[in-house]
Amino acid sequence: MKPNQGHCYIWNEAECNRGANDIASFMWRWLQDKEKQNVKRVIFYSDTRGGQNRNQIIITALVVFLAKSNMTSIEQKFFERGHSKMEADSMHSAIKGQFDKKNIFLPSGYMECMLAANKKNPYHVHEVTHSDIMDFDAINKQYFKQDAFNGILKVHHITCAKSDGDIKVKFA
């Protein structure tokens, strides 16, 4: 896997949705790949969608992953509302361009388009099934005070850092 290779996750609606548990599970899977490459520090850049990216479920996933991994920090930075232009936007555009060129009759056709969208550095496409989705909502309710992440919709930067086994979460 190339270091800057884009990652795409594809599923049908019978398998999962686009909610916080789903997005957190995709992040978890991506973090596992980075850990295998011995990466110690990760920074995610996200848009400000509270239902998907900026919520207590995502933070729970990041904290739990950090606790179980050999990484030292995971950060999530948020673009200003209305001012985001992310790498994912260009990926979506390239993939949509492939969709527009083909008549797609089977779900596998979508995966083929995703694989063909960047010929120079093909995207790594993950097919997701229901068993890939973790229940971070239940973990959150079991281990965190329910007001632990109040005010998260107003933060622009979240840092989860591990030192001597202790994890600290900082909002900015």
Q: Please, what is the average pLDDT of the chain?
A: 84
* pTM, entire model: 0.80
Give the integer Cα–Cα distance in Å for 150 and 159.
15
Give the integer Cα–Cα distance in Å for 119 and 95.
11
What average pLDDT score do residues 26-45 get? 94
Give the integer Cα–Cα distance in Å for 60 and 24.
9
pLDDT in tens, 122-139: 888 888 888 889 999 999
| Chain centroid offset of residue 74 CA | 12
**Quick one: DSSP state of residue 153?**
G
Per-residue pLDDT for 31 more than 90? yes
| Chain centroid offset of residue 92 CA | 15
55, 68, 44: which is closest to 18 by C-alpha? 55
Q: Please calculate the CA angle 20-24-6 and round it to the nearest 5 degrees.
A: 120
Provide the strand spans (E) within 50-111.
73-78
End-to-end CA distance of the chain: 33
